[in-house]
């Protein structure tokens, strides 16, 4: 007889930033609080489903074309009441998402494709959709990752840095639009200038940078 066992998100192959988000949900649930989270973009839904399994009410934001697939995966996981979908165009960055104020927001893309000033504006918007004490988890492409090889913006100031990748990197990663790559120090600057209090930042083994900031 086969037994279906629901995986524990804390024991899966999530990356370090995702594990920090999971631990925050568990901590808040320990005090009996209802936890609300936002994931953008929702992607294949793995992170959304993992957060919902920890009894977090999740708003999953992504392009409208992703909705049917995500809803199907959420339904198959038995989490229909824990997840809501909202259309999200990364270039638009709406002022409000349904379900706010959130206890945590996970932003995985949408900051590198715009100039620094716009990225700071977007982060400020996300921080304002958190409760006081809520946490923002940001993942961003690293200046010192492979993407930074022969990157023409590496010597530019952060405020002016928005360049195409070197041709071989653009072809390898299928990124053919200008991007702003960040060092870990650049990410600290972004979070602080957007009004967040930086709790921690780190660089992954692949050279990308991640950080956690709290709304104060």
Quick: pLDDT tens for 61-109: 999 999 999 999 999 999 999 999 998 876 666 667 888 899 999 998 8
The residue whose two tokens read 């998100």 is 9
pLDDT, residue 8, reads: 60
pTM score, two decimals?
Answer: 0.91
Tell me if residue 1 falls in helix, strand or coil: coil
pLDDT at 195: 97
Q: What is the pLDDT of residue 6?
A: 54
* 134 has a pLDDT exceeding 70: yes
Task: Tell me whether residue 60 is exposed, middle or buried, using C-beta atoms within 10 angstroms of its C-beta: 0 to 12, 13 to 18, 19 or more.
Answer: buried
Q: What is the pLDDT of residue 89?
A: 77
**Whether pLDDT at 177 is above 80:** yes
Please list the residue range(s) of the chain that carry CATH number 3.40.50.150: 32-107, 110-216
Structure tokens given for 58: 């999740």
Backbone angles phi, psi at 161, to 5 degrees: -90, 105
Q: How far is CA 97 from CA 89, 193, 210, in A?
A: 12, 22, 23
Percent of the chain with pLDDT over 70: 91
Q: Which of 7-21, 43-57, 153-167 has the lowest mean pLDDT?
A: 7-21
The CATH class that applies to domain 110-216 reads alpha beta
pLDDT, the chain, mean: 91
Q: Is 121 helix (H, G, I), strand (E, B) or coil?
A: helix
Bridge partners (DSSP) of residue 83 are 58
pLDDT at residue number 32: 84
At 31 the pLDDT is 85
Is residue 118's pLDDT more than 80?
Answer: yes
Mean pLDDT in residue range 126-144: 96
Q: Who wins on pLDDT, 205 or 5?
A: 205
For residues 193-201, average pLDDT? 97
102-135 burial, b at 16+ Cβ within 10 Å, e below that, comes to: bbbbbbbebbbbbebeebbebbeebbebbeeebb
Domain 32-107 has CATH 3.40.30.10: no
């Amino acid at each position: 007889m086969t037994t279906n066992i629901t995986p524990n998100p804390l024991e899966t192959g999530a990356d370090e930033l995702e594990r920090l988000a999971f631990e925050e949900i568990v901590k808040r649930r320990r005090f009996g609080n209802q936890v609300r989270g936002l994931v953008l973009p929702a992607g294949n839904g793995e992170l959304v489903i993992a957060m919902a399994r920890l009894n977090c009410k999740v708003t999953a934001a992504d392009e409208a074309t992703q909705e049917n697939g995500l809803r199907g995966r959420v339904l198959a996981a038995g989490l229909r009441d824990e997840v809501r979908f909202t259309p999200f165009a990364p270039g638009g960055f709406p002022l409000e998402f349904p379900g706010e104020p959130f206890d945590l927001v996970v932003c995985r893309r949408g900051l590198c494709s715009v100039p620094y000033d716009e990225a700071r504006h977007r982060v400020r918007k996300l921080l304002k959709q958190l409760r006081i004490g809520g946490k923002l988890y940001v993942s961003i492409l690293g200046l010192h990752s492979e993407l930074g090889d022969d990157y023409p913006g590496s010597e530019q100031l952060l405020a002016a840095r928005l360049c195409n990748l070197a041709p071989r990197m653009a072809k390898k990663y299928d990124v053919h639009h200008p991007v702003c790559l960040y060092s870990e120090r650049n990410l600290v600057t972004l979070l602080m200038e957007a009004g967040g209090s930086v709790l921690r930042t780190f660089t992954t083994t692949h050279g990308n940078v991640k950080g956690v900031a709290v709304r104060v």
